[in-house]
Amino acid sequence: MNWQQLLSLKRYGDSQPRLRSQQDELRLGFEVDYDRVIFSQHFRSLQDKTQVIPLSQSGFVHTRLTHSLEVSVVGRSLGRMAGQRILEKHPDLQAAGYKQQDFGAIVAAAALAHDIGNPPFGHSGEKAIGSYFKTELGAGLISTLSPKQQQDLLSYEGNANGYRLLNLDSPGTSGGLRLSYATLGAFIKYPKESLPYRPTKHISQKKYGIFQADLVHFKDVATELGLVNNDSTEETHYRHPLTYLVEAADDICYTIIDFEDGINLGWISEDHALEQLIKLVRDTIRTEVYTQLSTTSERLSYLRSLAINNLITDCISIFMEHEEAILAGNFPHALTDKSKYKAQIEDILSITVDKVYTNEEVVQKEIAGYKILQDILNAVIKASINDFEEMTSSYDQLILKSCKGLRLSGTDKYERILDVCGYVASLTDSKSIALFEVINGKI
């Protein structure tokens, strides 16, 4: 892979190349990507979607929206810092007009969108959708699909749904948000299909990131960016190098922020939490400043800032040290996996898992999320398939009328089911509860 190709400004439907040297510095193409994501309907819905603690009424905790905004800020810093060093190493990029803010804008936009395809009720939402197709009713609905189409649904993936949402045609907007291919490339965390599944330790193969319905679009992006591995006997794809920075921004934020939410909720003791954070920043903490802070909020804010800064600086060092391997597709790790702070990160995550992710309140509400989403899927998929086969009942018609924003334009059974899954994934926590209650006659 090479940087000039990886930084392509091309957008879906372009007939002429977009050159960096011809960009309007007041309205840079990569910055337009950020604007298009933040004003999109799907991004705005993240305000009412769970990050970790579903439906929490216990003070401030992060939603998908606040988490995504924070990840984009960290991503912008990572991108600019990496961009400065990449430009020093590759003067041809400077000659072509690229600047360090280009890298920051790409990473920030991709990071802003990184959770845009995630269903309500946190990560349990993905599992709830996939699990539905393992039930007798769900399995029967997909029995005639191809193995790859079935696997798309059985292991439903929010990352793949995110790619689909960003590029899905809607009235008056062919090609969806029409983000630059560089930003789309940085967004694709797992550049592979759901099948074949071959266990590997490479971080880019951990999950899949492309539905069968979006494969043609993805291959166009991959070809433009040079993500195709021509040395392989099979068609495989490299991960865009800037994806490592998007992933690092996410890893940094959920390591620190989910931990902080646990403290704010009183699930993690303040003394124990501050002790863990101090271990992460002991090389940069200013004791004379810290001792003057009198509240938990002040101490957390100070330590959070230092911790995030330390992790950003460390990840950039790792990224640049392994830049050649990353460009060759031969770096199989997340950047934080190679961090000098790995032990401290693991300690913090271990506490978060024990005190937050498996907290009784979280578990109970995730269980409720399974029931809510699977009941909605059952009703809406049946109605959509009956509509496709021109066999709708009066009940089906009422269900479809109640699902504002549901696409009914799929050209086959697979796309119809995928569109329903996308619709359910686009619901907010509160909207999914309201629809569940209607379906179950609780009005």
DSSP state of 355: I
pLDDT in tens, 328-383: 999 999 999 999 999 999 999 999 999 888 888 888 888 888 999 999 999 999 99
**Residue position matching structure tokens 């990507």:** 33
> Is it the case that residue 169 has pLDDT exceeding 90?
no
Which segments of the chain belong to CATH 1.10.3210.10? 3-15+29-119+155-225
Q: Are 45 and 72 in contact (CB under 8 A)?
A: no
Predicted local distance difference test score (pLDDT) of residue 425: 94
Q: How far apart are CA 6 and CA 77, in angstroms?
A: 19
Q: What pLDDT shows up at residue 76? A: 98
What tokens appear for 308 in the block? 């995030």
Mean pLDDT of 281-293: 89
Which residue type, as a one-letter code, is found at position 286?
R
Instruction: Give the Cα separation of 67 and 254 in Å (integer).
Output: 8
Domain with CATH 1.10.3410.10 in the chain: 242-359
Q: What is the DSSP string of 254-265?
A: HHHHHHHHHHHT
CA distance 141 to 76: 43
CA terminus-to-terminus distance, the chain: 57
Per the model's pLDDT, the better-predicted residue between 328 and 123 turns out to be: 328
Contact 188, 240 (CB under 8 A): yes
Helix and strand tally (H, E) in the chain?
22, 0
Q: Give burial (CB, 10 Å; 0-12/13-18/19+) of 79.
A: buried
List pLDDT tens digits, range 212-266: 999 999 999 999 999 988 777 667 899 999 999 999 999 999 899 889 888 888 8
Q: What's the CA gap between 155 and 166, in Å, rounded?
A: 20
What tokens were used for 32?
Answer: 């337009």
State pTM to two decimals: 0.94
The tokens 């934020």 sit on which residue? 253
Rounded-to-integer distance, Cα 115 and Cα 108, Å:
13
Tell me the sheet residues that pair with 50: 63
Q: What percent of the chain has pLDDT over 90?
A: 69
> Tokens 């865009």 map to which residue?
240
Class of domain 242-359: mainly alpha
Q: Burial of 344 by CB count in 10 Å (0-12 exposed, 13-18 middle, 19+ buried)?
A: buried
| Distance separating alpha carbons of residues 280 and 28, to the nearest angstrom | 37
Mention the CATH class of domain 3-15+29-119+155-225. mainly alpha
The CA–CA distances, whole Å, from 421 to 46, 88, 168, 236 equal 17, 45, 14, 27
- Rounded to whole angstroms, the Cα distance separating 249 from 239 reads 16
